[in-house]
Structure 1
Amino acid sequence: MSEVKKIATRASYGAALVELGKKHENLVVLDADLAAATQTGVFKKEFPERHIDCGIAECNMMGIAAGLATTGKVPFASTFAMFAAGRAFEQVRNSIAYPKINVKIGATHGGISVGEDGATHQCCEDFALMRVIPGMVVACPSDDIEAKAMVEAAYEHVGPVYMRFGRLAVPVINDRPDYKFELGKGIVLREGKDLTIIANGLCVAPALEAAEKLAADGVDAKVINIHTIKPLDEELVVAAAKETGKVVTVEEHSVIGGLGGAVCECLSEKAPVPVKRIGVNDVFGESGPATALLEKYGLDAEGIYKQIKEFV
């Protein structure tokens, strides 16, 4: 994949906000003293009067975003996933989700690929935290193209949306004319009959690579990109499970409560089949180069391939 164009989805987030800002004057952006890291700085440069730096006060930022939304603005509140989902959980729950306020949360630097920032900043619990909040849409894009489409879809959606974007540059895999993004609808990237691999975020590209490695061993894997964890595309998940008889989920998140949890909850009720959850196995991350950490935690193509091979 070294020759493939790579872009960090946090950069896609910033670029998408600028393009949407040109079309919609009611779009405003808030950040918590992290505009350079979250890439909202490009919006600030283009529209300084529509950007608010709330300082290192994420809880307050969520309250400000909720207040702005009640005036007809569409606020995108931006900070690291650890602070958006973790530190500000109460405000997201009570000030945004409970009254059904139209706030969009752009959470960057999620997962162990945050790298050298270490365990305190490598949020592998955000999907679970946000998914349990009633009415919250939870999504994570696989590449630059999907991230930009997701931001636009979030703007169009009426109600709270949580989006996770990454720090690490990832391959562009959706650069094709038939690509279509829709919140709550998964995308089949590869057909197969022996098992189904369901992935999201930066795990989609290595999942596709793992499927090719499996094919060389005579294992035909279907690959689905479930970019929206909530609402889950249950129809697609159930159909794939019934078709292939085995399911593997892959995510840069704890195996508890995220994509794997959502898929297992769905299949246990509607189509019980053997499921293998690949992710962070109920441990904290550690400081180190992002690619080395992904390899250590089995989330690179080789690690995914080996775990699936063992499961099959």
Structure 2
Amino acid sequence: MSEVKKIATRESYGNALAELGKEHADVVVLDADLAGATKTAVFMKAFPERHIDCGIAEANMMGVAAGLATTGKVPFASTFAMFAAGRAFEQVRNSIGYPHLNVKIGATHAGITVGEDGATHQCNEDIALMRTIPGMTVICPSDDVEARAAVFAAYEYEGPVYMRFGRAAVPVINDKPDYKFEIGKGVTLREGKDVTIIATGILVANCLEAAEKLAADGIDAEVINIHTIKPIDADLIVASAQKTGKVVTAEEHSVIGGLGGAVAEVLTEKAPTKQLRIGINDVFGESGPAAELVKKYGLDADSIYEKVKAFV
């Protein structure tokens, strides 16, 4: 897919915020001394009076965002996923989640594709952490188109939203006239009858590529993009599982508590189905080029193809 246009979803986040700021005067963007990396600098340049740099104090930033929300503003609190979900978990839970405030969290640099920043900054636990917070909506877009749509949808949604974005450039796969983003609704990208592949985030593109390889072997894979981990589209998951009888989940996140766990919960309760979880297998990441890490941890298209083939 080298000829396909590639854009990092963190870039999409910054551009979408600037567009949103033009339309809505109540949008305020907060950052924790990372505006260049999270790309909120795009918003800051356009609306300096509505951009607040809270410094390297993420917990405080979440408190400031909560306070702004109580005044009628719509704050987008931005920092790396490791700091948004990890360092500031207590503040997100107690100051934003508990009072169910209208705060949007833009968490960039998620997953192992943070690359050379290493294990301390590669957050593979954030989806698990955020989806345990009552009332928290969790979104993990697959590309530029979906990331931009997610930002606008998050603004329109009343309540706390956690959005997960990546550092590395990824293929644009949703650049279609009929594309529609709706919180809580998955998207069937490829119909199939032999196995269901449910993916989120940057692995959606890899799973589509893997599905093409499987087709060459006579395996007809259905590919579903679950951009909203919570609330999850249980009806779509169950319908596909009942059709194919086998489910594979793929995510750039720990196999514990992320998409794989969320899908397993749905299937266990509503349609017991044999499932394979592809993701980070209860280990920390390491420093290295993003593409090499994706391959080493078995998240590239070839690895997904091999795992699904063996599973089927």
Structure 2 length-normalised TM? 1.00
Quick one: which amino acid aligns to residue 306 of structure 2?
A: K
| Separation in structure 1 between the aligned mates of residue 30 and residue 63 of structure 2, nearest angstrom | 11
| Separation in structure 2 between the aligned mates of residue 99 and residue 191 of structure 1, nearest angstrom | 41
Give 1:135-214 correspondences, 5 Å limit. Answer: 135-214=135-214
Structure 1, unpaired ranges of 5+:
none
2:280 aligned residue: 280
1:126 aligned residue: 126
Q: How far off its partner does 1:309 sit?
A: 1.0
| Separation in structure 2 between the aligned mates of residue 81 and residue 123 of structure 1, nearest angstrom | 6
| Separation in structure 2 between the aligned mates of residue 308 and residue 298 of structure 1, nearest angstrom | 12
| Separation in structure 2 between the aligned mates of residue 139 and residue 258 of structure 1, nearest angstrom | 12
2:21 is the alignment partner of 1:21: yes
2:227 aligned residue: 227
| Separation in structure 2 between the aligned mates of residue 123 and residue 256 of structure 1, nearest angstrom | 13
Deviations 1:88-127 (A, max 9, x none): 0000000000001000000000000000000000000000
Q: How far off its partner does 1:310 sit?
A: 1.2
| Separation in structure 2 between the aligned mates of residue 273 and residue 187 of structure 1, nearest angstrom | 20
Quick one: which amino acid aligns to residue 180 of structure 2?
A: K
2:61 aligned residue: 61
| Separation in structure 2 between the aligned mates of residue 9 and residue 31 of structure 1, nearest angstrom | 17
Deviations 1:57-112 (A, max 9, x none): 00000000000000000000000000000000000000000001000000000000
Deviations 1:2-59 (A, max 9, x none): 1100000000000000000000000000000000000000100000000000000000
2:31 aligned residue: 31
Quick one: which amino acid aligns to residue 260 of structure 1?
A: G
Quick one: which amino acid aligns to residue 84 of structure 1?
A: A
| Separation in structure 1 between the aligned mates of residue 123 and residue 175 of structure 2, nearest angstrom | 29
What is the DSSP-based 3-state SS (H/G/I as helix, E as strand, rest coil) of the residue aligned with 2:210? helix
Deviations 1:211-253 (A, max 9, x none): 0000001000000000000000000000000011000000000
Q: Please, what is the CA RMSD of the aligned residues?
A: 0.3
1:103 aligned residue: 103
Quick one: which amino acid aligns to residue 72 of structure 2?
A: G
1:261 aligned residue: 261
1:293 aligned residue: 293
| Separation in structure 1 between the aligned mates of residue 71 and residue 176 of structure 2, nearest angstrom | 39
Identity score, percent: 78
Quick one: which amino acid aligns to residue 186 of structure 2?
A: G
2:87 aligned residue: 87
| Separation in structure 2 between the aligned mates of residue 281 and residue 309 of structure 1, nearest angstrom | 19
What is the DSSP-based 3-state SS (H/G/I as helix, E as strand, rest coil) of the residue aligned with 2:277? strand
| Separation in structure 2 between the aligned mates of residue 41 and residue 269 of structure 1, nearest angstrom | 44
Q: How many corresponding residue pairs?
A: 312
Deviations 1:161-180 (A, max 9, x none): 00000000000000111100
What is the DSSP-based 3-state SS (H/G/I as helix, E as strand, rest coil) of the residue aligned with 1:214? helix
| Separation in structure 2 between the aligned mates of residue 307 and residue 37 of structure 1, nearest angstrom | 34
| Separation in structure 2 between the aligned mates of residue 256 and residue 199 of structure 1, nearest angstrom | 15
| Separation in structure 2 between the aligned mates of residue 217 and residue 3 of structure 1, nearest angstrom | 24
2:50 is the alignment partner of 1:72: no
| Separation in structure 2 between the aligned mates of residue 179 and residue 200 of structure 1, nearest angstrom | 16
Structure 2, unpaired ranges of 5+:
none
| Separation in structure 2 between the aligned mates of residue 311 and residue 190 of structure 1, nearest angstrom | 19
